[in-house]
Structure 1
Amino acid sequence: MISSYLFISYLLNGLLINVSGDPIEHELLEDLFYNYTPLERPVANHKDSLRVNLKLSIQQIIDIDEKNQIMKANGWMDMKWNNYRMTWNPELYDNLTKIRIPYDRIWVPDLLLYNSASEEFDPFIHTHITVDHQGGNLYVPPGIFESTCKIDVSNFPFDQQICKLKFGIWTYTGEMVDLQVEPSSGGTDITEYMENGEWMLLDVSATRHEVQYKCCPNTFIDITFYMTLERRSMFYVVNLVIPCILNSLLTLLTFILPAQAGEKITLSITVLLAQIVFMLLVMESMPSTSDAIPLISKYFSFSLFYVCASVGATVYVLSFHYCVPELFGPMSPKMRKIFLHLMPKLLHFKKYPNGEYLCVKDPTKRLKCLCNFDVTQDLFDDEKSATGSQSTTYRDIKMLQSLHRHLRYVAHKLSGDDKWEYSRLEWQFAASVLDRLALWFFTILVFVATLSTLFAIPSINKSFYFHGHSNLNP
């Protein structure tokens, strides 16, 4: 029983100690809030305008959602104004010059983020207000600013974005509350800014606007903070751009591999499949928006186009290489002039000692056929010229004629085989010419596409432009 009384007495003493507080501050608060209402705008005359200075301190860029076009950042807002009702003489209150008052006990400007994308709309976490003896009010509420931001991904992943935070008084017009940019700092502060892994903050500026909306005849004032952001592109260069360029260079190996290797079309199809699979993987990292086509999407689409074109060119080359002259016939004179004389000269093919690009001569120029050889007449002439020799019998003539027929057949066969073999070599040489032509064409195409994409990057284009002009100007 005695212990319970002691416990209650200790508890009451503790409560009395906590409730007692500072009598000086208590007296000051009673004097300040005597006959005071927080609904009153703190001006001596209701026709006067109350000036409120704003300064935004950005701490971190949390996220930028390209698909929904939303920027999310955190920081705090410095609001400064003068409340003539909150003044006192520090000498009367033990030199107390500053006090902290809850925000709902005195007047505060109803500042809101106009372009808010948050469900709660009000981004601030309301805190106490610091009041000095001269009536100066300092309100520094932190908050997470989730705002709409027009994202232009046309230069992705080398893009720059300008996002804005538009703050304004919701109910008071410009004649009642005059918003101004903090003059000492220009309205912005990034001393506490923490770097973002994807975005680099280039600049923050503040601009004051006076706007007359259609709903209301009066003028409203807002302070818009512009944040210039640049995407850190190293991740995308290493994981997207370089693999895509290397995969495109594999296309050129298709035309270096000889057709008789048997893996030419396999390599070409493999490169195409790798390009398609690679594009499906990188699509997850690219912003899902249809407002603009990203720069890297243009390069991927073009690379897919010429990889598909290389597959078609490879099929065409193989159709030349494996052409069967017995079925499709020899090359026409016009094709022979183009593929065997003109294009090899332009593509710097090596000539052989015979002055031709083929080391095998045309069999029609070097083979002699026995078709016009008359065995009977030749034997008759030999019999008349021979003296003292035995005359040729009829049986010998028949045997020689039969042998002649067999020799003519063999000669025709050999001549035809050589002719078709030469024609087959012509088609194969034409295929190698097409290979060399496709190699040069796709090499130029890959380098032109890559260089065009690189010079389309704003930072590279700007540096190249200024460097060129600096060289022109002495």
Structure 2
Amino acid sequence: MKTGHILVFFLGSFIKASGDPIEAQLLSDLFYNYTPMERPINQHRNALKVNLKLTIQQIIDIDEKNQIMKANGWMDMTWNNYRMNWIPEHYDNLTKVRIPYDRIWVPDLLLYNSASERFDPFIHTHITVDHKGNNLYVPPALFESTCKIDVSNFPFDRQNCSLKFGIWTYTGELVDLQFEKGNGTDITEYMPNGEWKLISIDAQRHYIDYKCCPDKFVDITFYICLERRSMFYIINLVLPCILNSLLTLLTFILPAQAGEKITLSITVLLAQIVFMLLVMESMPATSDATPLISKYFTFSLFYVCASVGGTVVVLSLHYFVPEMWGPMSPAMRKLWLEFLPKLLHFKKHENGTYMVAEDPSQKLKCLCNYDIRKDRYEDEKRSSQQPNYQDIRMLRNVHRHLRYVAHKFASDEKWEFARLEWQFAASVLDRLCFYFFTVMVFIATLSTLFAVPSINKGFYPPTVEGYT
């Protein structure tokens, strides 16, 4: 047992002794009488310059409900530490060393508009230090920032999110934050997102006086412009809604006798409500703006409800009972049987009207108004024979029965013709509603399309080329 312990001790001593003595000596010299709490500047009145460069690797998600943008990448931080320099020739031409971040001064850079529970988005790594004292710190990070979501043009919208970085404790007089030449960003490693298209990234430096503190602080804010790829929503929401709206028109093509007219109208209405619920699930509960697609769905819901009301009126006219409520008034007949059919281009028939059926008021008129006494007197004048009063009595009975039958037929045909007039009025209203709602569907669809920013080119400024 003792022999094993002795062997392990000698092996550990050998491994320790086999390390690079030059790098160990360099680190020992660098950290001699050094404290990481010291701001690495030779004059405390001077500001230490720290350069930033943001590399975005991927836009992970835009959470519209919670108004959070998630992205990953890394931040390049460079500064000069006057205590960390050496002459490479004294250390076998060693020009760079890697030092743990907690052993050396590091700017306490934080994401001001962080939405993460940790608040600090960085995963701390080693710092690369060269012989001139230049420090390079490249911590990877998962950025979760608050982002004001503007849903007024959803799903054809653009969002402007920001990542605001700043030193938490050092004022602008102590640490001067700057972004590297250009716009301080790098997208060479960017992976395109399936839902969002990266339009531009710009950096701006701000020097702000906060109410909490007497001194001013510097921050670097990276503004990220994203455009939604709307094909998914066009295929799964917009097109089904347009097709569902077109089904409204079929309601007025379906004959009233089919019995499924009102059923189709209500089915279309329920489908429209389902589409609205699907949109509401992905939208933040805000009253600041109404999404474009919600405006379209609301307008569509309005005319679908109106079409249900129109269908009810059409069916009421079709199944109108004239024996109970009476025939059409002259004004109604003028409107529904003459003016509107002419306006809606109904076809005139050979009888000069728009209805095939003729007015039965002239039918059986001769029989109903026939005077048998006058006819008998004329027969007596032409005949030299004495009239047979028994035959005349029989003819009177026959005539009375025929008049009753004629009146019965005339009354039945009168009410049947009145019923046909109301049914014809229902068909006129059907065609009127068809034309009206066709115009409404096209107005709603075209007005929504022309409000889309990608079609209305003047809504957004020109995009920056080179971003995908």
TM-score tier after normalising by the smaller chain length: over 0.9
**Which residue number corresponds to residue 472 of structure 1?**
none
CA spacing shift, 1:133–1:165, aligned 2, 3 Å: same
Is the counterpart of residue 423 in structure 1 residue 421 in structure 2? no
SS in structure 1 at match of 2:98: strand
Matched, 1:459 2:457: no
**Distance of 2:137 and 2:369 partners within structure 1:** 117
1:83 shift after superposition: 0.9
Residue 329 of structure 2 is aligned to residue 332 of structure 1? yes
Please tell me the residue identity of whatever aligns with 2:159: Q
Find the counterpart in structure 2 of residue 114 from structure 1. Answer: 112
Q: In structure 1, what is the Cα distance between the partners aligned to 2:269 and 2:166? A: 55
> Which residue of 2 is the match for residue 154 of structure 1?
152
For the Cα contact (< 8 Å) 2:97–2:128, is it kept in 1?
Answer: yes
Letter in 1 for 2:44: H
- Asked if the contact 1:376–1:397 (Cα under 8 Å) also holds between the matched residues in 2, the reply is no
Instruction: Look up the match of 1:255.
Output: 252
Asked whether the 8 Å contact 1:66–1:289 carries over to 2, the reply is no
Match of 1:471 in 2: none
Where does residue 341 of structure 2 map in the other structure?
A: 344
Secondary structure of 2:59 counterpart: strand
Instruction: Mark the runs of 5 or more structure 1 residues left unpaired by the alignment.
Output: 468-474
Structure 1 equivalent of residue 308 of structure 2? 311
Of 174, 177, 180, which residue of structure 1 is paired with 2:175? 177
SS at match of 1:165: strand
What one-letter code is carried by the residue in structure 1 that aligns with 2:386?
S
Q: TM-score under structure 1 normalisation? A: 0.93
Partner of 1:198: 195
Residue 258 of structure 1: CA displacement? 1.1
* 1:130 and 1:138 in contact (8 A); partners too: yes
Question: Corresponding residue for 2:226?
Answer: 229
Contact 2:276 2:294 in 1 (8 A): no
Inter-partner Cα distance in structure 1 for 2:14 and 2:306:
87
2:437 is matched with 442
Between the aligned partners of 2:347 and 2:101, the Cα distance in structure 1 is 89
Please state how far the C-alpha of 1:238 moved relative to its aligned partner: 1.0
1:395-432 deviation per Cα after TM superposition (whole angstroms, max 9, x unaligned): 22221211111111122112222222221111111111
Q: d(CA) in 2 for partners of 1:420 and 1:383?
A: 41
Query: How far did 1:282 drift?
Result: 4.7
- Matching residue of 1:245: 242
Aligned partners of 1:369 and 1:411 also within 8 Å: no
Moved more, 44-53 or 260-269: 260-269
Q: Give the residue type in structure 1 aligned to 2:238.
A: V
Residue 353 of structure 1 is matched in structure 2 by 350
Q: Which residue of 1 aligns with 2:466?
A: none
C-alpha distance in 2, partners of 1:177/1:464? 40
- Secondary structure at the counterpart of residue 214 of structure 2: coil
Q: Which runs of 5+ in 2 are unaligned?
A: 463-468
> Could you tell me which of 28, 32, 40 is aligned with 1:34?
32
Provide, for residues 274-333 of structure 1, a one-character-per-residue CA deviation record: whole Å limited to 9, x for no partner: 333444445434444443222222222222222121111111001111111111111111
CA RMSD of aligned residues (A): 1.9
Q: Of the candidates 10, 17, 24, which is equivalent to residue 14 of structure 2? A: 17
3-state SS, counterpart of residue 459 of structure 1: coil
Which residue, 78, 81, 90 being the options, matches 2:79?
Answer: 81
* CA shift in 2, pair 1:464/1:26, >3 Å: closer
**How is 1:45-124 mapped onto 2 (pairs within 5 angstroms)?**
45-124=43-122
Q: CA deviation at 1:381?
A: 2.1
Distance in 2 separating the partners of 1:423 and 1:142: 84
8 A Cα contact 2:53 2:75, kept in partner: yes
CA distance in 1, matches of 2:31, 2:190: 38
Q: Aligned partners of 1:59 and 1:420: how far apart in 2?
A: 80
3-state SS of the aligned residue for 1:256? coil
Residues 15-24 or 31-40, more deviating: 15-24
Structure 2 counterpart of 1:42, one-letter code: P
Q: Distance in 2 between matches of 1:463 and 1:218?
A: 42
- 1:229-252: per-residue Cα shift (whole Å, max 9, x none)? 111211111111111111111111
Whole-angstrom distance in 2 between the partners of 1:58 and 1:267: 51
Mapped to 2, the partners of 1:76 and 1:37 lie a distance apart of 27
Shift of 1:377: 2.6
Distance 1:367 1:276 in 2: 56
| Equivalent position amino acid for 1:27 in 2 | Q
- The alignment partner of 2:156 has SS state of coil
